[in-house]
Structure 1
Amino acid sequence: RSEKLIFKHQSPNDNLVVNYDNKETIKIKKETGLPIYWFSAKEKIEPGCYLENDELVFQSEEHKMFFAKISDLPLPGSHNLENILAASTVGFIHNIPGKIILRALKNFPGAPYRLEFIGEFRGIKFYNDTCATTPEATLAALESFPKQPIILILGGKDKKLNYENFGIAIRQNKKIKKIILLQHPAYDASLKILSALKKHLDSEKIIQTSNLKVGVEIALQQAKANDLILLSPAAASFGMFKNEFDRGDQFNKIVKNL
């Protein structure tokens, strides 16, 4: 609905940038007379930006331009790729050269608290995904790192969510080395997560702690060079922290003081 409100208030001189991979947004084509540019991570489209053999392409009636490779992009995750394709499409609409777009993509650090790269210590990378307050968000974060071994820090306050499928998905992810589970008297989600995990994982894979700093230190002890430590809690923060941003800030401070 919000997308429709946006294009209904556009003028005839405006352009519309639409996600071709979303079945709902494709329908907008029939409802507007505005020029449409597409972006897609799955299909070759025109005009717009898409992914072809791990390269980002801008295609128009006049020309086809390869302007970046997946390896050029510092931000992990399919959601970041979609955002990059959308932003690049806007850049090309405004005639920004491909090399300028590539430079901007390489230098963009990403949104804070959402798969934010914090730093590297002893060859171990740290990512802050404190805004992942649902199991689905944490699973999406894990899918962003298909190759690196992961020590996952999670747990928090319940939002009346179901974690049974989460436990199954965690078992199926062979890249997870250890799970650091944050515990607190207010953290009822941690109890649900623990129950779901114990049905599918050996207990030795789960380490519980009531202190984030201790959790990071334990994760560091378990990690080796080329591993990554990911804070992606799958739950709300209240009780141990003021809010999810406070949780993220404390994590950042702990990592930077290592």
Structure 2
Amino acid sequence: MTASLPEVLRIADLAGRRVALWGWGHEGRAAYHTLRARLPAQTLTLFCDPAEAAQAAALNDPRLAVETEASAARLAAFEVVVKSPGISPYRPEAAFAAAQGTRFLGGTALWFAEHADDGTLARTLCVTGTKGKSTTSALLAHLLRAAGLRTALAGNIGLPLLELLDAQAEAWAIELSSYQTGDVAASGARPQIAIVTNLHPEHLDWHGGQERYIADKLALVTQARPHIAVLNAADPRLATLTLPDSEIRWYGDARGWHLRGDALYRGDEHVMDTARLPLPGCHNRSNLCAVLTALEAFGLDAAALAPRAATFQPLPHRLQPLGERDGVLYVNDSISTTPMATLAALEVYADRPVAVLVGGHDRGLPWEEFAAAMRVRAPRAVVTMGQNGPRIHALLAPVAAQAGFTLGAASDLADAVAQARAALPAGGVVLLSPGAPSFGAYPNYVARGRHFAQLAGFDPDAITGIRGMGIA
């Protein structure tokens, strides 16, 4: 009789068990290579799509079985399924298998569990939030390195934690999506510091609704119980949060690091002007306040490190100026996947004529608040596109007639760029800030941003790549 699984699973606990992998993206491949390295004799089953199955078969691993249909019955045949973050545990087949006793977890849970007793967790600084988590994580790593610390930058930003399982660092800057925060709690580990930047509706299809999304996102602080939680006091949902097991450090108001216009303050003390920092928009400079609060909680002199933000290189696809063509600036904000992110992007260029491209995969997010904002301060033009383009267009049509901005409907991104350029005078800005995911038309926001760059006449290879990932 097989012994029951322990509450917290480590890699060694999977030996001899019925184990499956679900998904063959970056995280799935990292999980496979980790398990194969640690458990070379372990039999594994991989569930993936047909194209990925061919890639996995090329490994010629006799202990790896590959299947292309993850049915409820098949998933239920396994004791443990290590799934990729993009696969929702709320899917009916996953819920059925879980009810039969199958344990679902991700690579993030395995990484944290493996380091529960070696002192690594005392050096972890985790970051989540609806928007700004990638910039916050990268800026955090930049300033930790400026302080002389050997720092790892990993997680949802593009480098799975399991790829650094055996690496050593003095500080770990870890980005976590709402798909991964529950993994930290499932690992039984307590991060040292956890930052939550903000909360807005997103990924409702994966989570099954706004309430569950908020709960899953907050699991990093409500269930994983970090020693110190760094929270944005300007976010209405976070401002009312109480965490009995964590010390809360607030930013975004007079209690701590905050902005007064472009001026950066810590409490009542003026620290520096932020206008020339490579952090466009007040939302990005708010991320700096989060980072400085975390650095202080980590025991560093945050005020002394703040000026080093001037040498930070902004991340691609996040309000990324590509350059000018014929007097028009093209800005790539392809990572924008919520209407609130689009509004923040528009605010950055509020003093210039802007044509914004919106729409993509329809996750059912509401656009009413965006439409209301267009009544007050609209750009020169809005061009809708993608699966939810018609829905956004119908919502904006009466607003455009009243507010006087040009409203176009495009068949694809190329058509949207052409319409946006035609609507602008010299000195204008074509802004790709879709407020929606890219799925369907593109595999991810990176591919969408690269195509936008190409359409605008720029080299897509020159705009891609996040500096500093890994350990430095």
Matched residue, 2:258? 50
Matched residue, 2:308? 103
Alpha-carbon contact 1:77-1:144 (below 8 Å) kept: yes
1:14-69 CA-partner distances (Å, limit 9, x unpaired): x55333334554566772574x54321xx322xx322235310234xxxx753321
Tell me whether 1:67 sits opposite 2:271 in the alignment.
yes
Query: Among residues 380, 388, 408, which one is paired with 1:177 in the alignment?
Result: 380
Cα 1:215–1:5 shift into 2, 3 Å: same
Q: In the TM superposition, what are the counterparts of 1:73-112 in structure 2 within 5 Å?
A: 73-92=277-296, 93-95=299-301, 98=304, 100-104=305-309, 106-112=310-316
Tell me whether 1:137 sits opposite 2:341 in the alignment.
yes
C-alpha RMSD of the superposition? 3.2
Cα 1:198–1:140 shift into 2, 3 Å: same
* One-letter amino acid of the structure 2 residue matched with residue 101 of structure 1: A
Matched residue, 2:424? 223
With 84-93 and 151-160 compared, the bigger mean Cα shift is at 84-93
Tell me whether 1:38 sits opposite 2:250 in the alignment.
yes
1:108-156 CA-partner distances (Å, limit 9, x unpaired): 2333333233333344332222232333332333234332221111222
Shift of 1:231: 0.7
* One-letter amino acid of the structure 1 residue matched with residue 280 of structure 2: P
Matched residue, 1:196? 395
Shift of 1:9: 4.5
Matched residue, 1:205? 406
Q: Structure 2: how far apart are the matches of 1:5 and 1:17?
A: 15
* One-letter amino acid of the structure 1 residue matched with residue 447 of structure 2: D
Q: Structure 2: how far apart are the matches of 1:195 and 1:146?
A: 24
Shift of 1:177: 0.8
Query: 5+ unaligned residues in a row in structure 2: which ranges?
Result: 1-218, 460-472
Shift of 1:230: 0.9
Matched residue, 2:230? 17
The structure showing larger relative contact order (alpha-carbon pairs under 8 Å, at least 6 residues apart) is 1
Shift of 1:84: 0.8
Shift of 1:4: 3.4
Q: Structure 2: how far apart are the matches of 1:204 and 1:67?
A: 40
Q: Structure 2: how far apart are the matches of 1:162 and 1:132?
A: 15
Helix, strand or coil: the match of 1:201? Answer: helix
Query: 5+ unaligned residues in a row in structure 1: which ranges?
Result: none
Tell me whether 1:155 sits opposite 2:359 in the alignment.
yes
Alpha-carbon contact 2:229-2:246 (below 8 Å) kept: no
Q: Structure 1: how far apart are the matches of 2:418 and 2:392?
A: 21
Q: Structure 2: how far apart are the matches of 1:168 and 1:33?
A: 38
TM-score for both structures, normalised by structure 1: 0.74
* One-letter amino acid of the structure 2 residue matched with residue 38 of structure 1: W
Helix, strand or coil: the match of 1:72? Answer: coil
Alpha-carbon contact 2:254-2:266 (below 8 Å) kept: no
TM-score for both structures, normalised by structure 2: 0.44
Cα 1:153–1:103 shift into 2, 3 Å: same
